[in-house]
Amino acid sequence: MARGPDMTAKKKRVIASYSEKGGVGKSALAAGLAAVARRHKKVRRVLAGDLDPRGTFTAEVGITEPAFTMNDLLFNDTRNPVSPRGLAAEALIAAPEAWSGLYMIPADRSLAHRETDATTGLEMRLRLSFEGVIEEDDLGVLDLPPRAGGKLVSAGLVAATDVVIPATLDEDGRIGTDEAMATIKLVQDTFNPGLRVVAIVPSIVPPSKYPRRLAAEIAKYLADTYPDYYREDLTIPEYQERREARFACLPITSSTSDHGLAVVAAYDRILTASLNS
């Protein structure tokens, strides 16, 4: 099969946060990675894309009423087609000051229309739109919707070079991971053979010396099933600072509390693991 443009070249990275279950911390992970990447030495610019019509990531960054959205970027007028190559440059908007250094293609509810859009090449459109836009030392971060495949998930996984799967240590985390891994394989077998799974990271894990039995069971299952990917050392702890940051539309890096710093440290570790993979 013919391969698309070389987005997997050294230092051009687009990390997708993906699970097929909702509520496992996908948007939180995307926002966390974007927040820490802005101040990472190896990252020049952070370019984010929200592929979830609910726009959780967009709202967290504090973008309202944008000129263009992901829906506009993915839409292709078949009567007057516009080549998507490099088009992301026109859809990216500067995030508010608190998120300085971040540029984003936001999402709104209209993006759901693209799930039923049968236009040829929709899956490739986001990837092609990044051409010439994402440069060396830039980092792309994509927040994918919790779906079993579909156009938006496909567009995100085709545009991504790396995937991080957040997994809560419960049944949702397990199912979301299993199904995400199956979809990723489908994409690897077709559109994007170079797509890599960086890690399956335990997400929203309550800090406790005595983990609950179910959490231990799920952790064991993930570790046994995906020994190459499950990374307990990249666990994202559950602290209220994370929810507060989201509520205030601030990056988690704004937090100076011990708990906030612990969350930031977790995202830093995941980012480093991604950049070094």
Partner 1 sequence: MGNNFVQKGASRLRKAPDAAVDPAVPAELQGGAAAKKAAAPAGAAKAGVPAKATAAPAPAAEPQGGTGFFVNRRVVTPQDFEGIASKKDQLRHIESLLEEIDAGHRHVESYVNLNKGILLEYAQANELHLEAGYANFATWAADRLSIDDTYVFELINDSRRIRLLEPLGAAITDLLIRASARKTVVDVLAAKGPEAAKQLVTTAAAKNSKRPRPTQAALQQTARELGFLTDRKELGNSESALPVPTHAAAKRIHAVSTSLLAKNATFTDADALRRAITAAPEDVTAQLDALADLLAQSAKGLAAARKKAQAAIDKKAADAKAAAERAEQRRLSREAAEKERAAKAAGEAAAEGAGTPGGNDVQVSLPGQAGEAEVPAATFSDASA
CA dihedral 27, 33, 39, 42 (to 10 degrees): -150
How far, CA to CA in Å, does 111 sit from each of 72, 89, 108, 214, 244?
Answer: 8, 19, 6, 36, 27
The residue range among 56-64, 154-162, 167-175, 216-224 that interacts with partner 1, by the rule CB under 8 A, is: 56-64
Number of residues that bind partner 1 (CB under 8 A): 34
Question: Cβ closer to partner 1: 58 or 235?
Answer: 58
Which three-class secondary structure state does DSSP give residue 187? Answer: helix
Phi-psi region of 132 (alpha: psi -120 to 50; beta: other; left: phi over 0): left
Count CB neighbours of 145 within 10 A.
23
Task: Give the one residue of 22, 66, 150, 194 binding partner 1; rule: CB under 8 A.
Answer: 66
How far, CA to CA in Å, does 64 sit from each of 55, 107, 202?
Answer: 10, 10, 31
Which amino acid is located at 235 in the chain?
A: T
Could you say whether residue 98 binds partner 1 (CB under 8 A)? no
Q: Per-residue contact track with partner 1, 176 to 205, x per CB under 8 A? A: ------------------------------
Task: Give the one residue of 107, 133, 142, 165 binding partner 1; rule: CB under 8 A.
Answer: 133
Report how far residue 274's alpha carbon sits from residue 277's, in angstroms, rounded to the nearest whole number: 5
Q: Per-residue contact track with partner 1, 112 to 131, x per CB under 8 A? A: xx------------------
Question: Cβ closer to partner 1: 1 or 67?
Answer: 67
Question: Cβ closer to partner 1: 50 or 241?
Answer: 50
In the complex, the residues that contact partner 1 under the rule CB under 8 A are 53, 62-69, 71-75, 77, 82, 87-96, 103, 106, 108-110, 112-113, 133
